[in-house]
Amino acid sequence: MSDAPILKIAGLRAKVAEDELEILKGVDLALGKGEIHAIMGPNGSGKSTLAKVLAGHPGYEVTAGTVEFHGKDLLGLEPDERSRAGIFLAFQYPVDIPGVSIANFMRTAVQAHLPEGEELDLFDFQDMLLERMEMLEMEPAFAERHVNDGFSGGEKKRNEILQMAVLKPSLALMDETDSGLDIDALKIVSGGVNKLAEENPDMAILVITHYQRLLGYIKPHHVHVMVEGRIVQSGGPEIALELEEEGYKSWQAHELSAGA
Amino acid sequence: MIGELMEGVTEALNGAAVGRVSTREPNWLRERRDHAWDVYERTPMPTTKLEEWRYTDLKKKLDLGALKLSEAPPAPDRAEAWPLRLREAMALDREASGRIVLFDGHTVHTELDPELEAKGVVLCSLHEAVESHTELVKEYLATQAVPPEEGKFAALNAALWNDGIFLHVPRGVHLDCPVRITRWFTESGAAYFSRTLIVADTASRVSYVDEFLSDDFEAQTLTSSAVEVIARDGAQVQYVAVQRLGRGAFYQSVQRTLAGRDSTLDTLNVALGATTTRVDLNARLLGPGANSDMLGLYFGDDNQHFDFNTSQDHVSDNAGSDLLYKGALDGHSRAVFRGIIRVHKGAQKTDAYQTNRNLLLSPHARADSLPNLEIEADDVKCSHGATVGQLDEEAKFYLMSRGLPRIAAERLVVLGFLGEVLSRLPLGGVGHKVTRVIEEKLGHDV
């Protein structure tokens, strides 16, 4: 852990773009190579907003603070530039793109990740996609389906993991990946994430979740608790278990008393 | 020689012009032109007070008085001498049963598979067909399908048409590859009037692709097209119009299809170019078992204006029609879709559907969709639907978060959106071409 962090967030404040509503109220966080961090927190605490802000969602505006990714400023980049720099956001609510097959979408994305002027070899791509799907135990026919169009909740999340497997990010942001999944789907999805982490031990993962459940499958090295736009506690995996027993109430109460 | 050329250049659209274009024609045809001109003069120019022209203000969009009949000299029948864009368009047409290339309305190249010729297939200019296939031309030219009484433009076209294509497919003959017509226009400020007459005899099969191409025009240029397609009993016909004219063009097309018993008569209108596009398409289902799929694709940017006016006339019982028009609109472009399903008295067991979907890529683009039903039978299945959607920020963000630059993201969404129409093309050899020309237009926007 002596390496410089992959991601370094300092004093980050952000609000809804066309509103004065401030959601992130000064977030500090650093992720090192190969580290898995979890951010837990109640609904509305700002944890999903943090993931979206890091990916460059146009619905939010950063008002203060800095974010460095591999030592370079991240906040000045467009969402596509962030992706090409190595950030991947697994969406809580993946968007359906009718008429566009997963294979076509991924081919376009992989092409976009290549240096300018370099042409993707379609046969190499096809082989790579099939290999990635095999690793995630997916049927090849899945690639011909239209992106998230008519997908079940589980299929949507698996599709996110497939995209992550294809794009091989150095930082994966997993926004409520467990929401809407039954236990079997949860096992499959987290199994996929673990395989990718194994394959690429340098990849850092930031897991955003409301429940401890997911953390039984994707085991974090560090857990942070976010309440009302701030990280209020950081520690080891044991924090997740404490939260399981006590809930967030004590934190919210703590916040209130601290504020009073 | 110089005098003749000068005279041509100054030929306005008037009664004298009718006389000139019909000089060497038989009397019956000259009478038809004169009659059409009468109808034209009697018919007032449509205004926005008419429901069918509510969103296309001709006073602002078309200056007929400034147009001259095209008198461009013929181009050589040497492909090397043709413009690159024309040659590229033709290079995409790999398979063809027959071809005609028109250069400013002059037929410069005609070819037809000799085997098909031996089977009696006729593909030639309408002028030739007037002599060689008088009976068929007399029966169908501007009579049952697009008579001058259809409207101001139908009348003007019937009076002044100066280039035309005639295709006759005899009984039982199947064409496996499309017949391809490529039209190239060069004369800025000109008016072109073309007619297409397709007669597919009993149980024949043919696909026909009519492509309109040009560079941008400095002055407004009118390409008027009247299309008459007749499918006799059991015939399978597909008519495809691909409009890729340059800016400055006013593309106006009146199309009518007459579908006989157990025939299939499908159409596809692809509109990508021109400043203004106006298509009046009427499908008539005339015999039981007839079916028409009516597909449309448009993609606009800048200040392009598209107006599609369609009707599905179920004259016969037990016939089907299914219309799907989809368009994407960027910049300040605008589309109007007005469609009506008319189920005539006694047309029981009709299945008729109509769908128009629009995707707005820019906050300044606009789409109006006006679907309509007029049903005079009680045992029918009919539906219509229209949507106007936005390419929302969330979808764009999703695609961009995978590394796609904004333009590539939009392009993918548009191709996906329009792809539904392409996947429904029943006869081969067309989808590839249409996909490529849409991609070309998407590329042009980068």
Q: pLDDT tens digits, residue range B244-287?
A: 999 999 999 999 999 999 999 999 999 999 999 999 999 999 99
d(CA B180, CA B240) in angstroms, rounded, equals: 10
pLDDT the model gives residue B372 = 94
**Of chain A residues 111-140, which have a CB less than 8 A from chain B?**
112-113
Closest CB from A58, A80, A163 relative to B405: A80
pLDDT the model gives residue A258 = 46
Q: How far is A258 from chain B (nearest CA, A)?
A: 37
Partners of A92 on chain B (C-beta within 8 Å) are none
Q: How far is A57 from chain B (nearest CA, A)?
A: 7
Nearest CA-CA partner of A16 in A239, A235, A229: A229
Partners of A167 on chain B (C-beta within 8 Å) are 402-403
pLDDT the model gives residue B84 = 87
Helix (H) or strand (E) holding A210: none
pLDDT the model gives residue B19 = 87
- pLDDT tens track for A144-163: 999 999 999 999 999 999 99
Mean pLDDT of B327-341: 96
Give the domain ranges of chain B.
Answer: 2-392
- SS3 string, chain B, reads CHHHHHHHHCCECCHHHHHHHCCCCCHHHHHHHHHHHHHHHHCCCCCCCCHHHCCCCHHHHCCHHHCEECCCCCCCCCHHHCCHHHHHHHHCCCCCCEEEEEECCEEEEEEECHHHHHCCCEEEEHHHHHHHCHHHHHHHCCCCCCCHHHCHHHHHHHHHCCEEEEEEECCCCECCCCEEEEEEECCCCEEEEEEEEEEECCCCEEEEEEEEEECCCCCCEEEEEEEEEEECCCCEEEEEEEEECCCCEEEEEEEEEEECCCCEEEEEEEECCCCEEEEEEEEEECCCCCEEEEEEEEEECCCCEEEEEEEEEECCCCCEEEEEEEEEECCCCEEEEEEEEEECCCCCCEEEEEEEEEEECCCCCEEEEEEEEEECCCCEEEEEEEEEEECCHHHHHHHHCCCCCHHHHHHHHHHHHHHHHHCCCCCCCCHHHHHHHHHHHHHHCC
Partners of B408 on chain A (C-beta within 8 Å) are 108, 112
Q: How far is B414 from chain A (nearest CA, A)?
A: 9
Q: pLDDT: is A61 or B22 the higher one?
A: A61
Instruction: Enumerate domains of chain A plus CATH numbers.
Output: 7-94+170-259 (3.40.50.300), 96-150 (no CATH)
CA dihedral B74, B79, B82, B86 (to 10 degrees): 110
Q: How far is A82 from chain B (nearest CA, A)?
A: 7
As for the ipTM of the complex, it is 0.94
* Mean model confidence pLDDT for chain A: 91
Separation in Å, CA B294 to CA B109, B119, B169, B417? 30, 29, 21, 17
Q: Which of A53, A84, A95 to mutate to test the interface with B (most CBs of B within 10 A)?
A: A95
- A173 has a chain B CB within 8 A of its CB: no
Residue of chain B minimizing CA distance to A166: B402
Q: Which of A100, A102, A104, A118 to mutate to test the interface with B (most CBs of B within 10 A)?
A: A100
Nearest CA-CA partner of A176 in A4, A54, A48, A10: A48
- At B336, the pLDDT band (50, 70, 90 cuts) reads very high
pLDDT the model gives residue A251 = 66
User: A216-220, B70-74, B105-109, B276-280: which has the highest mean pLDDT?
Assistant: B276-280
Half-sphere exposure of B268 (CA within 13 A, CB side): 26
Q: How far is A80 from chain B (nearest CA, A)?
A: 4
- A177 has a chain B CB within 8 A of its CB: no
- pLDDT tens track for A113-147: 999 899 999 999 999 999 999 988 899 999 999 99
Closest CB from A58, A78, A109 relative to B402: A109
Nearest CA-CA partner of A145 in A180, A99, A178, A192: A99
Contact criterion met (CB below 8 Å) for B438 and B272 = yes
CB contact under 8 A, A97 and B393: no
- B446 has a chain A CB within 8 A of its CB: no
Residue of chain B minimizing CA distance to A94: B398
- B265 has a chain A CB within 8 A of its CB: no
d(CA B284, CA B261) in angstroms, rounded, equals: 11
Partners of B399 on chain A (C-beta within 8 Å) are 97, 105
Closest CB from B402, B405, B409 relative to A163: B402
